[in-house]
Amino acid sequence: MSRIKLLIVFCYLTLHVNSCGYIANYQLVGVWRVNEIFENDKILKDKTLAAIMLQFTDEGHYTYQGTLNYREAGTFKISSNKLFLFNQSKEEKEIHIESLNSKRLVLLMEDAGKIRRMIFNKTYN
């Protein structure tokens, strides 16, 4: 990767880290459904994506429902703009929170060398 591209990526990440500020656990509480998913900046189009749901509780628990009847549950915590998920097997996943407000959650994660951007809409508290 050229130095200019690295500099652009660094500046972008720095701006997002500084703009996110402090995120508290209570800001995630509720049910979030996927609106769009991008993989390496290309939108994924699949009818089953609508089944993807994340739920966070006041007690620090989460439930994830994915495609193909995949389910996962465990606990979560937030540190700065990072979301840490600990499933029932105590495996830890670290996910970058790109943005969060009362209606929209945008998560960035890397999976098998691909950058995935998931955009969720809040459905209810």
pLDDT value, residue 122? 96
Q: Position 104: which residue type?
A: R
Q: Judge whether 9 lies within some domain.
A: no
Q: Is residue 3 part of a domain?
A: no
Q: Note the pLDDT of residue 31.
A: 97
Mean pLDDT of 5-27: 56
13 within domain boundaries? no
Tell me the average pLDDT of the chain: 85
Closest CA to 121 of 43, 63, 16, 37: 37
Q: Domain count for the chain, please give it.
A: 1
Average confidence (pLDDT) over 84-96:
94
> pLDDT-based confidence at 1, cuts 50/70/90?
low
What pLDDT shows up at residue 111?
Answer: 81
Range of the domain at 37: 22-124
Domain assignment present for 82? yes
Give the integer Cα–Cα distance in Å for 48 and 7. 37
Give the pLDDT score at 14. 45
DSSP code string of 47-109: GGGGG-EEEE-TTSEEEEE-STT-EEEEEEEEETTEEEEEETT--EEEEEEEEE-SSEEEEEE
Output the domain CATH number for residue 103.
2.40.128.280
Predicted TM-score of the model (pTM): 0.79
Is 83 domain-assigned?
yes
User: Does 27 score more than 70 pLDDT?
Assistant: yes
DSSP symbols for 8-50: HHHHHHHHHHHHH----GGGG-EEEEEEEEEETTEE---GGGG
Domain-embedded: residue 28: yes
In angstroms, the CA 62 to CA 72 distance is 8
